Amino acid sequence: MTEEVGMDLGLKDKTALVTGGSRGLGRQIALSLAREGCNVAVCARGKESLEQTVRELRSFGVSALGIQADVTLRSGGDQIVEETRRNLGHLDVLINNVGGSEGKEFDSADDAAWEHTFQLNLFAGIRLIRFCLPAMKKRGWGRIISVASIWGREFGGGLTYMTAKAALISFSKHLAIEVAGTGVTVGGAAEGGTPSVAIGQAVATTSNVTFNNLVVDGTLTVNGATTTVDTTNILVEDPLMFLSSGATGSASVDAGLIVERGDDTNTGFIWDESADQWAAVSTAETGGTAGNVTISAYANMRCLVLTGTATAAQYSDLAERYETDQMYTAGTVVCFGGNAEITQSTELYDSKVAGVISTNPAHLMNAQAGTNETHPAVALTGRVPCKVMGTVRKGDLMVTSAQPGVAMSADERVPGTIIGKAIQDYTDGGIGVIEILVTLM
């Protein structure tokens, strides 16, 4: 049996304030303090991430407080410290984590850029220390840590940012000497990003690196055979996704999206390069290969309105939507009547015949009336599948039968009851489906 041994940092029941503590490095610092039994106040400008972090902190059984405030404002520091003291007691630990890179160079940095960068990276922390330090010295115990950056010691980042961080490091060194012997310690942490690309580059290529939160300012390039993203949702703020951006020469491979469906056949929406068209497909592909997608079958698509230019249609019928008393399958013969506009036919030679439920009309009138379930497309003229019974020969006139929704060959011509003419023979007996030419007369 292996016993897990931890380090007691002596922070149990202490109270800490972490600025910029709702995400990134600040959030991780706050969580680490909570694991040590330290009560934690975090401040940030974003309400949603702040509330989420406070819930996580309280899961460690400590008291936690979220303060929505802007530390760059002169009144912000006083408000944050007083609210922390009022809710959690006196302040023992201050983590000045708020900061940010402006990335400004000398020619582009005006007074406003310099002032904002120093407010964010230096003055906000100084004001908080001014509010906290007297009480810490009076109690004879306190810890103050200001998160600086390696760019405060060496070249990197923008000029305004480097200068502000260098000032923060110098300030922390001087203050640490001033408070020596009071029981208060002052330190700085020169981190290299949260995390920085340099950290990733320093790790061996065979190693796995795990980050709880990763914020990248700039361009992120991932080189490898497969990139796996295992999240509940992916939120993309960019308005455009560009696939196959590295393709050169004539296009030769399919592109698109494939959905893994467990035990069921995968589906996808792809650009089929060989057919030169978009396609909704069923496929055994898993996305592990780059090339032509093997299409098992074409999948169904459903939308409210589809606008396009038709160059071909499965059936050349003219159809119109009518309200139905219940949902009927394609090929069902319907007539006017029932509890809605149409119902399936049930009488021989019914003069109220309206047409045949269409499966894929070439032209659809009254398209906005409803869906196929409530307002199916009824073929008024043209070539469509139709349910039939008995013996049918090509060219036979078709009329309604006593079998619900089924047509039959006419024994006689009764005006107003003709559905259309058979295009195929049917001799199988029972009920089947053949194609007919609807010509109501």
Catalytic residues: 161
Q: Which of 164, 49, 148 is CA-nearest to residue 96?
A: 148
Q: Is residue 383 within 8 Å of residue 355, measured between CB atoms? A: no
d(CA 174, CA 138): 20
Distances (CA, A) of 355 to 369, 375, 381: 18, 14, 8
Specify whether the CB–CB gap between 16 and 84 falls below 8 A.
Answer: no
Q: Rounded CA gap, 315 and 306, in Å?
A: 17
Pairing of strands 15-19, 39-44: parallel
Farthest-apart Cα atoms in the chain, separation: 116
Rounded Cα distance, 330 and 378, in Å: 9
Which is nearest to 152 in space by CA: 136, 163, 144?
Answer: 163
Q: Are 318 and 380 in contact (CB under 8 A)?
A: yes
Do residues 142 and 128 touch, judged by C-beta distance below 8 A? no
CA–CA gap between residue 200 and residue 203 (Å, rounded): 5
Tokens of 437: 């030419």
By the 10 Å C-beta count (0-12 exposed, 13-18 middle, 19+ buried), 215 is classed as exposed
3-state secondary structure of 363: strand
Q: Is the dihedral of CA 42, 45, 51, 53 positive or negative?
A: negative
